[in-house]
Amino acid sequence: MNTTPFFLDAKPVSYLIGEQALDSSYRLVEKYPRYVLLVDDNTREHCLPVFREHLPELLSADVICIESGEQKKNLDQALFIWNELTRLNVDRDALMVNLGGGVLTDIGGFVAATYKRGIDFANVPTTLLGMVDASIGGKTGIDFGKFKNQVGLFVDPVAVIIDPVFLKTLEEKHWQSGFAEVLKYGLIMDRELWQWLYGKDYHEIDFWDKIIVRAARDKIDIVRHDFEEKGVRKNLNFGHTVGHAFESFFLKNNRPITHGQAIAAGMICEAYISEKLTDLECSHKEEIVEMIDKNFSRLSVTEEDVPMLFDLMRQDKKVREGKLRFSLLKRLGKAVHDKEVGTDVVLESLEFYMHDRSRL
């Protein structure tokens, strides 16, 4: 296939998405006198050579390399990058290019936005999750103790360049993380996308280019309308209130799971809650549970873990005035936000997740 990548000038961000996006991306970033390229130990090995081959104009960029992994999305690494930028005498007019997955673009965006009160940055996501979610929408940040993204800010990159060329080297666990978010777009806003995917094991899928452009455009559409997450953007949190609690729980217990595993589990719980509170049809809930179970194994949690999961949910950034608020499904392809949910129903959903294993 030899297509023209999808281009969108959505000020202040320019998007270039699809095959050969990288090859034609220099025009988006050519105005900068200096470039700093942020990589991690994985992307330095697997993606940096590809990046240099397809975007040779940036060969002279300084390279800063951090450690990879969700557990490394912390203040120490931010400190390391601030120090490196300082050591390299990087000025305010430089561009930082974040080459990596969601952890790297989150931390890179945060550091760029706070270095000398802010330098411009561009995201070049290398994972499926990065391509369809993390690189788009300006959420940056680091984890803090057991709390995800506790420190960070909303700040847009100047460019997001999404080229599926990087998927060739993607590890198994990274496919899963991105796939959970792709399913989520289907559920909350894009029933056609859901129908493309329903019934498939993600290993069988062979049209990723098409999925990436579709899912990335769904995300862009939402964040353009509600950058600051005052309204419709909250729909993206479907699966995430319970999901983030799972993710923090396992991180805290030194058994880290992927973001995708956490969100997949969260979507099962929140589909259950949607049936109870926002009229999601039972058969649709079952379709969701079936599809998730086809692609993700259930997490190992027990009754004893419930109090800590609740405690972690209360720390969620979506909490307002101490009340838990969820984004839930009205039907397949349609979500609603800011639904207050009582702890009893959340508890039931966890019970449902732990015990309804008929399909396993």
Residues near a second copy, by CB under 8 A: 33-34, 75, 79, 82-83, 86, 89, 91-93, 110, 113-118, 139-141, 144-145, 147, 149-154, 314-315, 317, 319-322
Q: Which residues pair with 96 in a beta bridge?
A: 36, 121
The answer to whether 18 and 162 have CB atoms below 8 angstroms apart is: yes
Taking the complex as a whole, the smallest distance from the CB of residue 123 to a second copy amounts, in Å, to 17
Q: Show Cβ contacts of residue 159 under 8 Å, excluding neighbours closer than 6 positions.
A: 13, 14, 15, 16, 25, 28, 29, 122, 123
Taking the complex as a whole, the smallest distance from the CB of residue 342 to a second copy amounts, in Å, to 18
Residue (of 194, 15, 36) closest to 119 by Cα position: 36
Report the C-alpha gap between 262 and 260 in whole angstroms. 5
**Hunting for tokens 């000020």 — which residue is that?**
11
Taking the complex as a whole, the smallest distance from the CB of residue 223 to a second copy amounts, in Å, to 13
Q: Within a 10 A sphere around the Cβ of 50, how many other Cβ atoms? A: 18
Rank residues 20 and 150 by Cβ distance to a second copy and give the closer one. 150
Rank residues 145 and 342 by Cβ distance to a second copy and give the closer one. 145
Rank residues 21 and 90 by Cβ distance to a second copy and give the closer one. 90
Taking the complex as a whole, the smallest distance from the CB of residue 4 to a second copy amounts, in Å, to 34
Q: Which residues of 66-103 are buried (b: 16+ CB within 10 A; e: fewer)?
A: bebebebbbeebbebbeebbeeeebeeebbbbbbbbbb
Rank residues 100 and 152 by Cβ distance to a second copy and give the closer one. 152
Q: Show Cβ contacts of residue 99 under 8 Å, excluding neighbours closer than 6 positions.
A: 37, 38, 39, 43, 47, 48, 51, 124, 126
Taking the complex as a whole, the smallest distance from the CB of residue 115 to a second copy amounts, in Å, to 7
With H, G, I as helix, E, B as strand and everything else as coil, classify residue 146: coil
Backbone angles phi, psi at 307, to 5 degrees: -55, -40
Q: Is the peptide bond before 56 cis (omega within 30 degrees of 0)?
A: no
Rank residues 53 and 340 by Cβ distance to a second copy and give the closer one. 340
Rank residues 126 and 140 by Cβ distance to a second copy and give the closer one. 140
With H, G, I as helix, E, B as strand and everything else as coil, classify residue 50: helix
Report the C-alpha gap between 44 and 287 in whole angstroms. 40
Taking CA atoms, 349 is separated from 220, 269, 270, 306, 346, in Å, by: 31, 5, 7, 11, 5
Taking the complex as a whole, the smallest distance from the CB of residue 215 to a second copy amounts, in Å, to 23
In eight-state DSSP terms, residue 59 is T
The answer to whether 216 and 222 have CB atoms below 8 angstroms apart is: no
Q: Show Cβ contacts of residue 252 under 8 Å, excluding neighbours closer than 6 positions.
A: 146, 308
Taking the complex as a whole, the smallest distance from the CB of residue 291 to a second copy amounts, in Å, to 31
Rank residues 68 and 235 by Cβ distance to a second copy and give the closer one. 235
Taking the complex as a whole, the smallest distance from the CB of residue 83 to a second copy amounts, in Å, to 8
Taking the complex as a whole, the smallest distance from the CB of residue 91 to a second copy amounts, in Å, to 5
Rank residues 26 and 154 by Cβ distance to a second copy and give the closer one. 154
Taking the complex as a whole, the smallest distance from the CB of residue 191 to a second copy amounts, in Å, to 30
β-strand pairing of 325-331 with 13-17: unpaired
Q: Radius of gyration over alpha carbons of the chain, in Å?
A: 20
Rank residues 92 and 173 by Cβ distance to a second copy and give the closer one. 92
Rank residues 70 and 275 by Cβ distance to a second copy and give the closer one. 70
